[in-house]
């Protein structure tokens, strides 16, 4: 920090025109290596999807494939974002995620606000706990007809089931997973 001695002012085009003439082309398999790894991962991913039973993972796989083009996709927090990272997403989607203070704060409200100011259809994908936590967001006058909600209801915070020894914790169902009977 504070070690620069000269400031060169010029346009980016001029800079790169001059800079590129000083560079040398390198021979590298770096990109091909990573593309090979990506393809191997995609093959394993597709094989896994064919073998697994009905689950959140399978639901998200089908859901992401079924979404229309050119939407604003709002992903709620926690597992919804994590599943979103595991799949190839449609490049025509404008994708946004909401993350509260280490939890499920305000995802529904954020999505409704985004739909209100947005020009394209907005699809909000959320888990059940996140949706119920911020369900008061539906009590406002700004919900537009271009707003759709998809709730993944697995009767609680399913993401907490993957914690090591989760079921060994007394009252796990009540205080961590927060099982419910809401539909």
- pLDDT of 101 reads 61
Q: Is the pLDDT higher at 45 or at 78?
A: 45
Which residues have C-beta within 8 Å of that of residue 142, sequence separation ≥ 6? 112, 113, 116
Instruction: Give the length of the chain.
Output: 183
Domain boundaries, the chain: 67-175
pLDDT tens-digit series, residues 110-142: 999 999 999 999 999 998 888 887 888 899 888
The CATH code belonging to domain 67-175 is: 3.40.50.970
Q: For position 129, what pLDDT does the model report?
A: 81
Classified as helix, coil or strand, 49 is helix
Give dist(CA 7, CA 99) in Å, integer. Answer: 39
Percent helix, percent strand, percent coil in the chain, to nearest 5: 45, 10, 45
Over 90: is that where the pLDDT of 56 sits? no
Nearest to 134 by CA among 152, 114, 110, 118: 110
Look at residue 19 in the predicted model and tell me its pLDDT: 93
The three-state secondary structure class of 113 is helix
- 115: tokens are 């739909």
pLDDT digits (tens, 9 = 90+) for 140-182: 888 999 999 999 887 666 666 666 676 676 776 666 666 667 7
Among residues 159, 183, 164, 176, the alpha carbon closest in space to that of 56 is found at 159
Q: What is the pLDDT of residue 11?
A: 96
């Amino acid at each position: 920090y504070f070690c620069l001695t000269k400031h060169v002012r010029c346009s980016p085009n001029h800079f790169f025109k001059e800079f590129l003439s000083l560079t040398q082309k390198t021979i590298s398999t770096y990109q091909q290596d990573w593309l090979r790894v990506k393809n191997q991962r995609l093959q394993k991913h597709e094989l896994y999807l064919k073998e697994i039973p009905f689950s959140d993972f399978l639901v998200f796989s089908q859901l992401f494939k079924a979404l229309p083009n050119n939407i604003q996709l709002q992903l709620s927090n926690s597992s919804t974002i994590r599943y979103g990272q595991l799949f190839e997403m449609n490049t025509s989607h404008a994708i946004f995620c909401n993350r509260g203070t280490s939890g499920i704060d305000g995802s529904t409200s954020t999505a409704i606000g985004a739909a209100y100011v947005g020009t394209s259809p907005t699809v909000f994908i959320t888990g059940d706990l996140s949706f119920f936590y911020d369900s008061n967001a539906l009590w406002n006058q700004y919900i537009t007809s271009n707003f759709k909600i998809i709730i993944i209801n697995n009767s609680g915070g399913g993401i907490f089931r993957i914690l090591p020894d989760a079921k060994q914790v007394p009252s796990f169902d009540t205080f961590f997973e927060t099982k419910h009977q809401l539909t």
